[in-house]
Amino acid sequence: MITLTAVVTYSWYITRQMTALRALQADLADRNRKDSLQLLRIQNDLNSLGLAMRDMLDTEERYPLTAWSAQFDRVRLDLDDALRRQADVAVAERTPEQRRYLAQSVAQFWDASDRIFGLAKEGKVEEARAQIRLSLQARQAALGTAVARLLVENNESEEQASERVRAIDGRVARQVYWFLLATLTAIVITSAYLIRSNRRLFAELARVSNERRQLAQNLIEAQESTLRQISRELHDEFGQVLTAIGSLLRRAGRHVAEDSPIHGELREVGGIAQATLGSIRSLSQTLHPSILEELGLDSTVEWYLSSVDRQLGIAVTYERTGTLTPVDSTIAIQVYRVLQEALNNVARHAGADRAWVRLRYLETTLELEVEDHGKGIAPAETGARGLGLVAMRERAELVDGRIEFLRPEPGGLLVRLVVPLRPTRGGQDHGSPR
């Protein structure tokens, strides 16, 4: 009875401690996440203002300075809302001086921007641009620094909360050790039960994780199937309709005199139909390149890279090595999508105008590398935070491959995808090696 009473009492006490610990962890994690999101939202607004000011200082810009007034007003509303929400969910305690400084800095920035737009409306464009360089950009930079400092304080607050959690955990652990000395037999029985429960819990977590991975892969497969179907519908249905329209217009044009106004209008409509047909075919290839099934991965990569400079504005150097091997279509489409996503990231985020693509055919594997010497990403950002990176990881797992995000010596980012080669379904002509 004494042992049972001690076990029940101590279990009740430990349960309360662990419940409080979990509540603290959940509350801090939720508030920290909301706080960080609002701070990142503020940073994004400040970056938008910085880009707008850069465009305003561009002397070749054909728009007047007052054209940016509406954009500044939209950013002001969003920034004020973000600051208000961030103050409500902030984990770290802000001093009155910090809150006053941030509010004054924001108010001074908007006062300065109002003065600049006022000068622009009065026709004093050069004076307004000078004020942007001397005052507005400096205030924007100061605000960015202040927000970055808040993010650092947020991280420090999270570390302090972790210390508190560890302290509670340590205290509970010490009490457990003392309790073990007094009630060893009861603890052994309870531990056996807990081990069994934990095993069941981890098995359930593993099952849920596998289901999540399978769901992500099924979504990717469904997306590819939908894109393939839409691409074929565009190419076959709309392409045939537009081709027929163009043929009918040419036939009608032959029955109209050359000097007739209708003849010119028919020719103009025919040109529009032909241009629309070209756009639909281009869109069809973008959604799902039919040449992937017809000519294979190598020819598709060459076709895609030939259009990257025009579409994304980056020059690509392409190198292929090894003996050309037919690649199964299920692998080829995933390799192609990873290449697309990697080059899109270079164009959007890297700040680089050149990339290097290397495709290596090895004995049992296929390696794809996409390298740029732009901004790169921090190691922590290669996790599951970016949707593009997550999609690339899931596509690699879908074909039993692996993907790495490395930093080359000159800086930037190197995306390396390695997939195993499997026998293809049906012989396809994939071109000849270079």
Do 175 and 88 sit in the same domain of this protein?
yes
Same domain flag for 269 and 307:
no
Q: Check residue 1 and give its pLDDT.
A: 75
Do both 305 and 273 map to the same domain?
no
Indicate whether 26 and 112 sit together in one domain: yes
Q: Measured in whole angstroms, how far is the alpha carbon of residue 320 from the centre of its chain?
A: 28
Residue 367 lies in a domain: yes
Question: Please, which residues bridge with residue 416 across strands?
Answer: 369, 404
Q: Is residue 105 part of a domain?
A: yes
Residue 383's pLDDT is: 46
CATH at 21: 1.20.1330
> 182, 211, 243 — which closes off a domain?
182
Note whether 310 and 371 are same-domain residues.
yes
Is-above-0.85 flag for pTM?
no
Find residue 315's DSSP bridge partners: 354
How high is the pLDDT of residue 432? 34
**Residue 20 placed within a domain:** yes
| Per-residue confidence (pLDDT) for residue 80, from 0 to 100 | 85
- Reduced to 3 states (helix: H, G, I; strand: E, B; else coil), residue 367 is strand
Give the pLDDT score at 431.
40
Same domain for 228 and 121, yes or no, is no
3-state secondary structure 154-177: HHHHHHHHHHHHHHHHHHHHHHHH
Q: How far is residue 414 from each of residues 85, 336, 358, 372, 375, measured CA to CA in Å? A: 38, 16, 11, 7, 11
Report yes or no: 102 and 68 within 8 Å, Cβ to Cβ: no
Q: How many structural domains are present in the chain? A: 3
207 within domain boundaries: no
Asked which of 130, 157, 182 is the last residue of a domain, the reply is 182
Is residue 189 a contact partner of residue 4, using CB atoms and an 8 Å limit? no
Domain membership of residue 96 as a residue range: 2-182
Q: Is 260 within a domain?
A: yes
User: Which residues of the chain have a pLDDT value below 70?
Assistant: 61-62, 90-95, 180, 186-187, 216-217, 220, 224, 228, 231-239, 257-258, 281-288, 290, 378-387, 423-434
pLDDT computed for residue 249 by the predictor: 73
Asked if residue 234 is part of any domain, the answer here is yes
Three-class secondary structure assignment of 299-364: HHHHHHHHHHHHHHCCEEEEEEEECCCCCCHHHHHHHHHHHHHHHHHHHHHHCCCEEEEEEEECCC
389 and 242 belong to one structural domain: no
116 and 29 housed in the same domain = yes
Predicted local confidence at residue 61, as pLDDT: 63
Output DSSP code: residue 132. Answer: I
Q: Residue 67 falls within a domain, yes or no?
A: yes
**Rg of the chain's alpha carbons, rounded to an integer?**
31
Give, in degrees to the nearest 5, the angle at Cα 341 between 278 and 54: 90
- Among 239, 257, 287, residue at a domain's last position: 287
In a domain, 425, yes or no: no
Residue 333 sits in the same domain as residue 405: yes
Residues 63 and 168 reside in one and the same domain? yes
* Residue 236 pLDDT: 65
Q: Are residues 258 and 297 in the same domain?
A: no
CATH number at residue 335: 3.30.565.10
pLDDT of amino acid 418: 94
Burial code (b: 16+ CB inside 10 Å, e: under 16) for 368-382 equals bbbbbbbebbeeeeb
Whether residue 137 is found in the same domain as residue 29:
yes
